[in-house]
Amino acid sequence: MTTTSADADDVDASGRKKVKKKRHEDIEGRAAVLTTLAASPFAAFAQETLAQDGEFGVLEGRSAALVHPIFLGILYVTTVYSGYVGWQWRKVRTVGEEIQELKKSGADPETANGEAVTPNPNQTKIDELIKERKELIAGNYKEKHFNAGSLLLAFGTVLAIEGGMNTYIRVGKLFPGPHLYAGMGIVALWAAAAGLVPEMQRGNDKARSAHIALNAVNVALFTWQIPTGLEIVGKVFQFTSWP
């Protein structure tokens, strides 16, 4: 049988296609092997992370699981306290402004020696407010509010992360739901409220109002989160053991 030039070209082209296909398959195979080798440490880490049944020791026990709810309970009380002392410190400024308004509204023409013709009719109220303001300043509420807020931001953020880590260690996954989302919102509100402090120190009233509003929402969200937190505590006692 005689092979024509065209037939020879077809055979040659077909051979080249087979060679290219084989090289492509070899490259894909090598890439798959390299990817598997590279990912194996991460796969091993993931398996270790999901390990349970005592492999993490006390971290899987009830004691570690209760760290989050116990200290978050303390931080809830701290949140309410921080709001109270913050409001008291705000009154130092608002009472001072009220005193100035009363002085202006009750002002009377002065004599040549600088004395008022008649006493300020608001003087009794002014004296009461001055006394109240002195007591507020003596209470050192500014420093107390700052310290409580710093405690919330620092330890609250750490405990929020710790709670998620502990859940993941014990059961191998997180549970998206109201409690988790509320916790994320609370941490975000802490950060946002703290971020307004520099503007507040410059006398920005809008920043002060926003700071108060954010913290009011935070307290409401924190309070709303308590029932779901207690449900989780119940499950901790149901599915874990001491320590």
Please check whether residue 29 lies inside any domain of the structure: no
The pLDDT of residue 46 is above 50: no
Candidates 207, 224, 205; CA nearest to 76 is 224
Query: Is residue 27, in this structure, part of any structural domain at all?
Result: no
Amino acid at 122: N
pLDDT of residue 119: 74
103 contacts 120 by C-beta, under 8 angstroms: yes
Q: Is residue 140 part of a domain?
A: yes
**Neighbouring-strand partners of residue 116:** 110
Residue 30 lies in a domain: no
pLDDT at 60: 84
Per-residue pLDDT, 56: 74
In a domain, 182, yes or no: yes
What would the mean pLDDT of 106-133 be, rounded to a whole number?
74
Residue 115 is predicted with a pLDDT of 60
Q: Residue 174: which domain range?
A: 68-236
Instruction: Give the global pTM.
Output: 0.70
**Residue bearing the bigger pLDDT, 233 or 42:** 233
pLDDT given for residue 157 in this prediction: 95
**Confidence at 41, pLDDT banded by 50, 70, 90:** very low
Structure token digits, residue 169 = 């260690």
Confidence of residue 114 (pLDDT cuts 50, 70, 90): low
- pLDDT over 60 (residue 101): yes
Q: Residue 95 domain-assigned?
A: yes
Query: Is 90 exceeded by the pLDDT of residue 147?
Result: yes
Identify the band that residue 61 occupies on the pLDDT scale cut at 50, 70 and 90. confident
38 inside domain? no
Of 153, 129, 146, the closest CA to residue 201 belongs to 146
- How far is it, in rounded angstroms, from Cα 140 to Cα 89? 8
pLDDT confidence tier of residue 151, bands split at 50, 70 and 90: very high
Q: To the nearest whole number, what is the mean pLDDT of the chain?
A: 81
Residue 83 · residue 66 · CB < 8 Å: no
In whole angstroms, what is the distance from residue 125 CA to residue 122 CA?
5
- One-letter amino acid at 152 equals L
**Which segments of the chain are extended strands (E)?**
none
Q: Is residue 63 part of a domain?
A: no
Number of domain units in the chain: 1
